[in-house]
Amino acid sequence: MNPITIRVDVGDGYDVIIGEGPLSRLGELLSERTPVCKSALITDQAVGELFAMQVDTSLARAGFVVTPMAVPPGETSKTWQMAGDILETLAKYGLGREDLMIALGGGVVGDLAGFVASVYMRGISFVQVPTTLLAMVDSSVGGKTAVDLSAGKNLAGSFKQPLVVVADISTLTSLPDEEWRSGLAEVAKSAVIDGEEFTGWLEAHAKQLLAREAEVVAEAVRRCVEFKARIVAGDEREEGPRECLNYGHTLGHAIEKVAGYGEIAHGLAVAEGMRFEARVAMDVGEADAAFVKRQDRLLDALGMPPLGLHMHSNEVLSAMRGDKKARGGAIRMVLPGAPGQWQCSEVVDEVIDAHLEAWSSTKEGDQR
């Protein structure tokens, strides 16, 4: 498979390199883009065991001096406190303004390290090396970084575009099944928001994606990165069309908060949110029953049946109100009409309440 390079035209612009094997050339790829320097390699303990040695060797061969740091795996590491600990460690190691931060891992490590890189010495260069499908297709591109606060997800954050993104799809073979499906949810979100062509392609290739066929996986990553690059190039700071990337996230983030961070994989919560928000759109927006059914079938085919969660609607509603998408306490949702058509609107509590009642009585695997 030949590596693919996609240019993201935001800020100074940067490349996303997608292929099988670029991890072992990381040092070389970085030295083409930045002078050799000190670098902090932030990873999680599980990812570090799998890939840190390979990355370290490649960076050292190119002359980079590497300080590795590993946080516990999972969403519970995406905290203000963890960011503070890393900042203190960077200062102790004497990392300077001209030095580099490398995030090796999933969206948690990418969001956390990106946030730290954006504030350390008012910002140092930052490289994304995503190792989950979710991070390759979504979180490593576009420059959003954040940590969670107890009041809600991603409530402290910044925009920090990376110097380069290096996505080695051969790292994905060790990804647990649940994390694989979590990534497929963001692929489905991108396809439905992008339009008919991507949605049709995904429907036709769902089986191969579930089986992790390398060529099809690379194609899915390419499509998602091109889609996201196009959206963020037109709206870096989410002042307009970038809002569409939040499809499924109003309920998704609320579910993650109510269940307790780390209890439900992010993408699976988003898939649940897509089902929910499509139904709200059928009620107060432009969606019809055929669209809702088609999206249900797509999510089923990608291994994401309804979760059958039983949560109190008040708790979910209040989590939605605390979401940063809410404005003046009014809840906003991305409401799809058809593949490629969407609007972002306020939805009144009575409508959400009625849908939450129906949703919380859904059993696992049920379609309403």
Binding residues for ligand NAD, rule: CB under 6 A, are 44, 46-47, 50, 73-75, 78, 105-109, 111, 131-132, 134-135, 138-139, 142, 144, 154, 171-172, 174-175, 179, 182, 266
Catalytic annotation present for 228: yes
253 catalytic residue (yes or no): yes
Whether 222 is a known active-site residue: answer no
61 annotated active-site: no
> Does the annotation mark 355 as catalytic?
no
Q: Which residue has the tokens 């949560």?
A: 311
Task: Tell me whether residue 218 is exposed, middle or buried, using C-beta atoms within 10 angstroms of its C-beta: 0 to 12, 13 to 18, 19 or more.
Answer: buried
DSSP for 314-359 reads: HHHHHHHHTSTT-BTTBEEEEEEEETTEEEEEEE-HHHHHHHHHHH
Does the annotation mark 144 as catalytic?
A: yes
DSSP 52: I
> Which among 75, 179, 186, 256 is annotated as catalytic?
186
Q: Give dist(CA 164, CA 130) in Å, integer.
A: 11
- Cα–Cα distance list, 352 to 18, 333, 356, 362 (Å): 40, 10, 6, 15
314 to 281, 333, 335: CA distances (angstroms): 21, 17, 22
Known catalytic membership, residue 2: no
CA nearest 18: which of 197, 202, 229, 188?
Answer: 229
Nearest distance from C-beta of residue 47 to ligand NAD, angstroms:
5
For ligand NAD, which is the closer residue by CB, 39 or 77? 77
For tokens 């050799």, the residue is: 36
239 versus 350: smaller Cβ distance to ligand NAD: 239
Residue number, 172 or 221, with CB nearest to ligand NAD: 172
Q: Is residue 186 flagged as an active site residue?
A: yes
Residue 264 C-beta: closest distance to ligand NAD, Å = 11
| Least gap, CB of 147 to ligand NAD (angstroms) | 9
For residue 161, which amino acid is it?
A: Q
Q: Give yes or no: 312 in active site.
A: no
Smallest distance, ligand NAD to C-beta of residue 171, A: 4
Are the beta carbons of 130 and 167 closer than 8 angstroms? yes
CB closer to ligand NAD, 59 vs 137: 137
Which CB sits closer to ligand NAD, 86 or 108?
108
Active-site residue, selected from the candidate residues 179, 226, 238, 277: 238
Q: What is the DSSP letter of 106?
A: S
Q: Work out how close the CB of 313 gets to ligand NAD at its nearest, in angstroms, rounded to a whole number.
A: 23
Among candidate residues 205, 242, 275, 355, the one labeled active-site is: 242
Residues recognised as catalytic: 122, 144, 186, 228, 238, 242, 246, 249, 253, 266
